[in-house]
A and B are shown apart, each in its own frame.
Chain A
């Protein structure tokens, strides 16, 4: 079995945490590289064979598909109640819903995607629903 294969479910890895000089990394078609910190990034939409390709280029990659849940939401006003991240400066890592670490990216004008720890995802969606109520939606 390959390295840390127990971390991967049967299907292809979709989200890989990459360690190494990520600024030099060129994602292939359909893949996107979201910054996590210095020399750290999340490769989303990763294709089959991505771990091997990254390893060949000297990067360390960890399958975080199961670690992260995506939550999508509509409206900058809602985002502003959820986090102090700056909507104009996304993607970025910060805290949402009182201390839940999250990577937030902007998908469209008013559409945002959050990557949150799987174990807190249900809680985050509860908070989002509550905040929507506060905005009268």
Chain B
């Protein structure tokens, strides 16, 4: 099938390359595409169509149409006409039952027609409803493209580039633009094969879209280049458009470009006897290549000179056998039919250009191209004399395809219009025309033209559908890039691992769930009975400093901070403008103009931004510094905390010298620390903040002093016994301070604070309360609180308290039920179970231990 050497052929005849199609060996040459090698070997049927399973062959040889999609080395939907040949490739047909040549599902084409009109699955397969899952499964097996999952692990990378000039498209105009721009230009081309002169070439590579800010993602093999360019030159050229007539999808009906490439690039004789129908010069001039290849040309129909009314292609077993043009029957195995060339404007439209119909040339052209973007070459629409092709040429009975990707016929579009889907956007969604792999490259104009005819209006009135990325098919893996999941590790991470901790995710942090013993209850006991230590370095930590620092915090928080004395700590809850609880933490005053704020573990960045935002609004003389990573924090808690701490420091830590809610700078085991006397876990405790670089020696000293490391699970039990809330666990985006049972924190006499109006006007539709349950059955988080058989709230936290001997938890309940001793009902395993509301903390309700 190979022709004698052609002047510009791309193949190396001395370098044979072999691969397999469905287990059979195929040989091509270096420089071939998989598709051209298959064609040269005599293969004509490349795929089976989406819905009707009709045989399909090469149409464009440019990677535009869906006809050559195959599975290559497990990767589905590879356009083999542009996929470079590679030795040993395993090429397989897809969407067939049997083989490409004998696909049993082709029965749909023969008998299914009347039962499978456009949108049939919306109408005929919806009843009975319970059968739909089976219908769906059936349809998915009958229709569709390749199957994912056969390729194994494949690596995709993302690379960022900045260039002065990015040229998209390496045709004549694109190359000229790149040469003119010189050294700072990058040219992206889908094929390559030419030598760049004074600019950089990226090929084969495809620009997928133009996003805001001049961002152009370019797919180049397994690397996605995210290119930002100051100037983008779009030279994407044109796309040859097929004609719509009966049998226009038969194998052997091709576009002129396919002939040019088969003959000139790959030296392949495309057929034996050809008929040419063209609407422009390029469509008719293909006779040159046909002559060069020794193909007999039966007839050339130049639509510019001799408009025709009827075209009908006839075939045998899906292969073209002949064509009838206005009654004249012509035997042929190749029909080169084209309706002119449509500018490939999609990227320009994505960038914001307006698309207008040029009636004289019968194409849609880009106008009003936005600044920073230029269109050059034939994409601008300046393309010689053309004939306006008819919407369709109905020469005989038979399917006239408007869309090859989705098997949408002229009849389907007519039907869509008849049913009222008469705008192009609606018809698109109903029939799926332009929604297939070609993304409208070959069917957009055809469908617009058909709609215009049916609605008796002009193409300009129909308009185009919205152009969206990706411009060409792209693997999802390439868009996803490498799977990297950020992990935050505390400065004590190595210590936790060494102690056999079971680590768990909390946001991006890895934290110990419990330690080596695997017994959180024992860790809880240690804290209650003697001494425990927990790494709380994950807490967000901010320094707020400046002459207006006190006033700034006073205005941010609902409670007071202006009157906080130096060396004291106070609990604070941040509320949004809407009065909702955002975050909580402690605020220590270290000096008149210096405050140290802690946030929740996941809140450090958002709270810092919140502070910065309000400071920008109010213009205070305040610096806000996020020091989360600079500092470690370790909470030493338990009745013997003071006895353990005293020998490690020179400072006086006696109850009178270092009182509850005090903040002091001191050295512990030689490490400079900020010590806060606070207690999330309800026992006497010191939260020690020190440089992250000194965290390990401090931790070691505390463990050496007898403190038992405890993990998050133990902490959750301990804090629950104290009914201390965790923002985000016990509260949600609707919770306010009143409903969460913290009205005491709202100082209504303050002039203002963020969310004041909203808190003052907040209604309390439910309340967060503590509850106890007699037996040891623990409701899951999210369990329903039921009242008269109806949902009336939910459990947010629940654990067994070994110390108290029963279940303790927090739940949202109706305000009427938020009273000490009220009975509520919690559904566990479908059964309502009795629980009793408790408003005070379950453990040490007066806080004597904390203050001791």
Contacts and interface: CB of A to CB of B under 8 A. Distances in A.
Interface of A: 1, 3-10, 17, 19, 60, 62-68, 77, 80-81, 83-86, 88, 97-100, 117-120, 122-123, 126-127, 130-131, 134
Contacts of B58: none
B164 to A, nearest CB: 11
A131 B672 CA distance: 39
Nearest to B545: A60
B623 A60 contact: yes
A19 B545 CA distance: 11
A86 B162 contact: yes
A77 B158 CA distance: 11
B631 interface: yes
B693 A62 contact: no
Contacts of A63: 630, 691
B672 A8 contact: yes
A19 B626 CA distance: 13
A5 B522 CA distance: 36
Contact of B631 (A7, A19, A88): A7
Contacts of A86: 162
Interface in B675-732: 689-694
Contacts of A65: 630, 691, 693
A9 B694 contact: yes
B509 to A, nearest CB: 8
A118 B541 CA distance: 14
12 contacts: A3-B591, A19-B623, A62-B543, A62-B627, A65-B630, A84-B160, A84-B228, A98-B484, A117-B488, A118-B630, A122-B487, A123-B486
Interface centre among A4, A17, A99, A120 (most CB of B within 10 A): A4
Contacts of B628: 67, 117, 119
B252 interface: no
A66 B693 contact: yes
A118 B692 contact: yes
B643 interface: no
Contact of B629 (A3, A10, A88, A118): A118
A97 B543 contact: no
B317 interface: no
A136 to B, nearest CB: 11
Contacts of A62: 543, 625, 627, 630
Contacts of B691: 6-9, 63, 65-66
A131 B482 contact: yes
Given A81-B158, A134-B157, A9 B487 contact: no
Given A67-B630, A130-B484, A134-B157, A5 B693 contact: no
Contacts of B623: 19, 60
A134 B486 contact: no
A63 B691 CA distance: 9
B184 to A, nearest CB: 11
Contacts of B689: 6
B157 A131 contact: yes
A5 B157 contact: no
A137 to B, nearest CB: 13
A66 B158 contact: no
Contacts of A67: 627-630, 692
A77 B590 CA distance: 47
A120 B488 contact: yes
A126 B510 CA distance: 16
A88 B430 CA distance: 50
B673 interface: yes
Contacts of A97: 484, 486
Nearest to B546: A60
B482 A130 contact: yes
Interface residues of B, number: 40
B159 interface: yes
Interface string B157-188: 11111100000000000000000000000000
Given A60-B545, A131-B482, A123 B487 contact: yes
B486 A1 contact: no
B495 interface: no
A77 B665 CA distance: 47
A17 B545 CA distance: 14
Nearest to B693: A9
B692 A66 contact: yes
B447 interface: no
B349 interface: no
Closest 7 CB pairs of A and B: A67-B630, A9-B693, A84-B160, A66-B692, A67-B629, A9-B691, A119-B488
A28 B490 CA distance: 34
Nearest to B605: A101
Interface in B133-174: 155, 157-162
Contacts of A131: 157, 482
A10 B694 contact: yes
B630 A7 contact: yes
A118 B491 contact: yes
Contacts of A60: 545, 623
Given A3-B594, A8-B691, A66 B672 contact: no
B674 interface: yes
B110 interface: no
Given A3-B591, A65-B693, A131-B157, A119 B489 contact: yes
Interface string B459-500: 000000000000000000000001010111111000000000
B632 to A, nearest CB: 8
Given A4-B543, A6-B691, A119 B482 contact: no
Interface centre among A6, A7, A9 (most CB of B within 10 A): A6
A62 B626 CA distance: 10
B787 interface: no
B453 interface: no
Contacts of A119: 488-491, 509, 628-629
A6 B228 CA distance: 44
Given A5-B672, A67-B630, A134 B482 contact: yes
A97 B487 CA distance: 11
A131 to B, nearest CB: 7
B627 A7 contact: yes
B833 interface: no
B673 A81 contact: no
Contact of A81 (B160, B491, B543, B692): B160
A127 B35 CA distance: 38
Interface centre among A19, A117, A119, A120 (most CB of B within 10 A): A119
A17 B625 contact: yes
A42 to B, nearest CB: 12
B590 A4 contact: yes
A62 B630 CA distance: 10
Interface in B761-814: none
A127 B484 contact: yes
A68 B627 CA distance: 10
B231 interface: no
A6 B630 contact: no
A134 to B, nearest CB: 5
Contacts of B490: 119
Contact of A100 (B160, B228, B486, B665): B486
